[in-house]
Structures are given as structure tokens and as C-alpha cells.
Structure 1
Amino acid sequence: DFNAVLHREEMRGLNTLRNASLSSETIEFRNFLTNMDLIDLPVLGRKFTWVHPNGISMSRIDRVLVSNDWLSFVVNPALWVLPCTVSDHCPLVVRSNVVDWGPRPFRFNNYWLENKDFTKVVENYWMNNNLTGWMAYVLKEKLKGLKATIKTWHRYTYGVLDDKILKLISEINVLDIKGELTGLSEDEMGSRKQLFSEMWHLKRSKESSIVQRSRARWLKESDANSSFFHACVKSRRNLNSILALQTEQG
């Protein structure tokens, strides 16, 4: 239980002696967050979470700490400070703000270019769909149809990447256990090799997609760290989110 703040700006009206005694606790608290790889959710609604009965001294000593794994499952988390009632500590509540952004925009995935069938899909659609009309209209309609074709091909070829990767890992594991117990036949060894190749290809595709979307261009794909990339994507989304506005009336 750290009865400490993380920054000087998180306290007001506390006497000089009290401020000095907090410095070592603050350093220890910061080290704890770093060692445990925890993230301090910023507060909304109010700046401080504890208020002395005199109404002068106040600080933010109540907080919510989360991990990157938790952030990957929660959409746009917002930590709100509620009004104090019988206690001198304000209650906190975490809300997940699910935002409806409308239809998902079409995004080109770089890893499609690594699939030898992708070019054939594009060429076959473009050559076999002839439209009449003015050139801008024809181009617009063909691009619209091509987008739908690519989406269908993507779902059939890749599906949900995480689900397909887990399925392949499970199938490889079954063969590995059988190999430990009774050994594998030549057909089973060939099957395992094929499954591993598909799994490796999908994992590379996933890493490429994460790199592309997180814009972490200063890291090479060969050194990809998925946890880091997910954190980059999540952090960028949280920074770009507007969860509340403050007016002159509060």
C-alpha cells in the first residue's frame, strides 16, 4: 500500500515537512510501477482523489494501475473520479467507452504482397470485369468491386489470424505428442512440416500488419516484439481519444 503520489503536481496544500517525507516514497512507488510494468490510468472529472476535512490539503493518492495485457482487452478505458461523500477519499470508476466509428475503412495490408495468389486475384478481377461509362465512373466502380473481392479473398485465405494461428499450433502439438509416444510416419512428418510453414507464414503476416498499423518504422520486422507493437497501437489510440471536455462551468 503506497500512500504516495507520483508527481508533485498531484498534491496541494500539504506542508513542507510532509512534502519532504514523500520524496523517498515517491521514488519507491515509481520503481514499483517500472518493475511491474504497470500503467497509471489518467483521471477524469477531478484532479485529486483525497481531500482533507479542512478543504485545503488534497492529493491524488488513489489510482488504478493496469497492465498492457489488460489494455489489449479493454476498449478506450476512462478512469473517472466521482464526488466524495462520507469518506475523504473519492470513489473511482473505470468505464470502457465503446465508440461506433461506422463501417471499418478498407486498409491495404502489406503482407498480401507476400502471397503469390494476391496478384492473380487482382489481375483476374480487373481483366474480367468490363464496365461502360465515363472513365472516372468506371474506375470508381471497378475499385469498389475490387475492394469487395479482396475482402472476400482475405477472409478465405487468412480468416482471423489469431484463431488460425492457435488452430495450427494445436494441430502441431498433437503431432508432437504422438511423435514423443510412438513416432511419426513420413506422411505425418510431411503434414507437420506443412502446418509449421503455414503457422510461420501467418505469424509473419500478423507481425507485418502490427508493424504497419503501429507505424513503428524504427524497428525491423525481423526483430518484431508483438507485445511492444500492441502497446504502441493501444497507446496511440488512447492518446488520440477525446474522452471528455472541460468548460468554464467544469
Structure 2
Amino acid sequence: MGSFCSFANNLNLVEINLTGKCFTWKSGNSMRRIDKALGSCHWFQKFPQLSLIGLPKRPSDHKPIVFTAEEPNWGPKPIRFVDIWWSWPKFNKVVKGFWSEISQSHTSLAVKMKLPRHKLNDWNKNVFGHIDHTISTLRWSIDAWDNVAENRALSESELEIVQQLRSNLRSSSSRSECIWRQKSRIS
């Protein structure tokens, strides 16, 4: 470890503060910050908006860390029909309802073809659920409970809540995998 410290000191590297987490590894009741990142003053000047963030714990015993910066806004994303939508109860009726509403109010075929995209996009976000947001929210909730568990033992009812959150995360992750599987086949 001494040679690594000498190496870091010779290059004037400093440890980058981790935000959002105290620890990056947990096994049983043991918690440690074993994952770290170093940077130089030149690097900090070149990339002033970068920060190191601790992410929610995944199935592994490590909590991943990631460098982040402000992301550009590329505008609205196009919508593609997602196969997993068919698993939603009454989705067929939803599509028929959209088409019936559009058919009655517009005569142009171009408009009729454009509007379902907007309606499906709204339906996907508001009813089906934006899967990435759902997964992010579930991970955030599980992570919040993990943070509580770092300071005290959870009660039985709290453990049940965490178990339900993890179950919902598995289900949502499975839906996300179906979506990504379909996207991987789109060229």
C-alpha cells in the first residue's frame, strides 16, 4: 500500500470525494469504502462538472460508483412499439380506443399516423409506467432502506417493505430486459 501512496503522491493525485454514499461494499454487518477514484488538478480543471457518485447497491455486495456530468438535452425521443406492451391487460382496447378517437377527428392519413405515437408515448409514461424511472425509483427506495440499515437494524415490517421493493425491482428489471432484448434486434 505504501508504494501506491508514493505513486499517487508523486503524480500529485488526490482522492475524489464520493457523494451520496458512505460505503461502497457491504457484507453482513461489515461496511467499508473500498472503491475509490483519484484525479489530478489538471484533470479537475479540464472537467469541472464531473463528480463521483455512489449508486444504489445491485445484487452484488458492491455499490457501483460512477463519474457523472450534465447531460445534453437532445430533445424528444422517437417512440417505437414495444412487444412487452401486449402483456398489459386491455392494451388491445387502449390501441383501438386511440385509433377510434383519431379516426373520428382527423381525415389526413399523415396526421392519423402521427397521433398514435404521441398517444402511445403518453400512455407508456402515465399508465404502463416509464420502466427506467420505475427501476430508478425502486433502486432509490431500496438504497434509502440500505442507508437506514447502515445505522440501525430494520424491524420486521421494514424488512417486509424492502423485500417487496426488491420483488418489484426484479419484476420491473425483467420487463426492462424484454425491452432491451427487442431494442438489440432493431437496426
> Structure with the greater relative contact order (CA < 8 A, sep ≥ 6): 1 or 2?
2
Specify if TM > 0.5: no
TM-score normalised to structure 2 length: 0.43
Which has the greater radius of gyration? 1
